[in-house]
């Protein structure tokens, strides 16, 4: 199936509990993984737009960050939320990587609430080290604005990324999540991710270990590449990290 058809299937599953009559329109344009646009009008979602980010989206993601409370920010920190200047630079870099087709980055907008969700795959063409192993395994990240959590948008974001990934040749998708992130783990397991191991927390500046470890998870797209992916993930788990240095591929 082509990308548009695959996305259509995921959206149909998402909207299905509402009943057919509740969905006024669903329009999908997806020239490729970097130019996705999904617009839907339904009873539960009067004006839902899911789209690829553009170069103009730094303020969009800044606004999204403002909708994440301290707990969500502690679970999802691919960007330095606490430092406005550093955040701006990090978002510029992240968006440039998407515009240049290294990452694939998306936002969910809801007519009434502005940007309410954000999800992405880092290293769609595979990180150089992973390429050496002959595998393409992007790293998934997802977050939903606090006021919009629990309405299946997080699951939708993960499912859309799973549908998009084969279209740029991914063999699998990896992620890490804090071991106390039970809602995140529930969503990932429901979407077919499996636990591959635990990454010990890095030592702090005093050499003391944090109490929260990370769970590493894998979604297999090409079963023939499973062994290579597991070797790669095991090597990542084996890498020790020091204070202030995130383990490689650790994106929450
Ligand atoms: C994790 C997150 C993306 C999920 O998005 P969401 O839209 O709230 O999730 P959904 O509504 O699709 O699904 C939530 C599921 O988690 C379950 N859940 C919620 N809290 C839970 C908990 N404490 N323990 C176990 N399951 C929990 C819900 O019951 C629901 O499952 P169900 O559909 O089987 O009933 C969202 O909560 C979020 O952004 N959290 C903060 C940032 C974050 O943690 N990002 C991920 C970093 S790895």
Strands in 36-42's sheet, in edge-to-edge order, are 23-30, 36-42, 48-52, 104-110, 114-122, 139-144, 172-178, 214-220, 194-199
DSSP letter for 173, please.
Answer: E
Dmax (CA) for the chain in angstroms is 60
Gap from CA of 214 to ligand 1 centroid (Å): 17
Atom of ligand 1 nearest to the CA of 145: 39
CA-based nearest residue to 160, from 112, 219, 101, 215: 219
**Other residues' Cβ atoms within 10 Å of the Cβ of residue 113:** 14
The C-alpha atoms of residue 180 and residue 165 are separated, in whole angstroms, by: 27
Dist. CA 134 → ligand 1 center (Å): 33
Nearest CA to ligand 1 atom 26: 183
Question: Are the C-beta atoms of 214 and 177 separated by less than 8 Å?
Answer: yes
The residue whose CB lies within 8 Å of the most ligand 1 atoms, and thus the one to mutate among 117, 183, 212, is: 183
In order along its 252 residues, the chain shows pLDDT tens digits of: 799 999 999 999 999 988 878 888 999 999 999 999 999 999 889 999 999 999 999 999 999 999 999 999 999 999 999 999 999 999 999 999 999 999 999 999 998 669 999 999 999 875 666 677 789 999 999 999 999 999 999 999 999 999 999 999 999 999 999 999 999 999 999 999 999 999 987 666 566 656 789 999 999 999 999 999 999 999 999 874 433 344 444 667
Q: Which residues line ligand 1 (CB under 6 A)?
A: 72, 75-76, 142-144, 149-155, 177, 181-184, 186-187, 190, 252
Measured by CA distance, the residue closest to atom 10 of ligand 1 is 152
CATH architecture for the domain at 3-238:
3-Layer(aba) Sandwich (3.40)
Going by alpha carbons, the residue nearest to atom 20 of ligand 1 is 183
Give the pTM. 0.93
Sequence-separated (6 or more) residues with CB below 8 Å from residue 169: 136
CA nearest ligand 1 atom 35, residue: 150
From CA 217, how far away is CA 188, in angstroms rounded? 8
Instruction: Map out the domains of the chain as residue ranges.
Output: 3-238
Closest C-alpha residue for ligand 1 atom 48:
177
The span from the CA of 149 to the CA of 76, in Å, is: 14
Where do we find the tokens 């990240």? 141
> Which neighbouring-strand residues pair with 121?
104, 140
**Could you give the CA distance from residue 45 to residue 47 in angstroms, rounded to a whole number?**
6
- Let me know: does 174 contact 140? Beta carbons within 8 Å: yes
In this predicted model, what pLDDT tens digit does every residue of 182-240 receive, in sequence order?
Answer: 999 999 999 999 999 999 876 665 666 567 899 999 999 999 999 999 999 999 998 74
């Amino acid at each position: 199936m082509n990308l548009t058809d695959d996305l259509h299937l995921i959206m149909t599953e998402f909207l299905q509990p509402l009943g057919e009559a509740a969905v006024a329109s669903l329009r999908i344009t997806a020239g490729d993984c970097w130019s996705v646009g999904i617009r839907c009008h339904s009873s539960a979602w009067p004006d839902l737009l899911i789209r690829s980010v553009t170069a103009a989206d730094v303020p969009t993601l800044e606004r999204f960050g403002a909708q994440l409370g301290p707990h969500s920010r502690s679970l999802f920190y691919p960007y330095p939320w606490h430092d406005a200047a550093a955040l701006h630079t990090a978002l510029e870099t992240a968006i440039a990587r998407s515009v240049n087709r290294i990452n694939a980055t998306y936002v969910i907008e809801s007519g009434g609430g502005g940007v309410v969700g954000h999800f992405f795959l880092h290293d769609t063409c595979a990180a150089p080290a992973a390429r050496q192993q002959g595998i393409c395994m992007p790293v998934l990240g997802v977050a939903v604005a606090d006021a919009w959590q629990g309405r299946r948008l997080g699951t939708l974001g993960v499912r859309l990324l799973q549908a998009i990934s084969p279209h740029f040749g991914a063999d699998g998708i990896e992620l890490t999540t804090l071991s106390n992130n039970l809602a995140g783990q529930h969503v990932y397991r429901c979407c077919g991710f499996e636990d591959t191991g635990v990454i010990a927390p890095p030592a702090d500046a005093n050499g003391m270990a944090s109490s929260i470890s990370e769970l590493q998870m894998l979604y297999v797209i090409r079963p023939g590449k499973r062994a290579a992916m597991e070797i790669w993930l095991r090597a990542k788990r084996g890498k020790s990290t020091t204070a202030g240095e995130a383990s490689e591929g650790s994106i929450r």
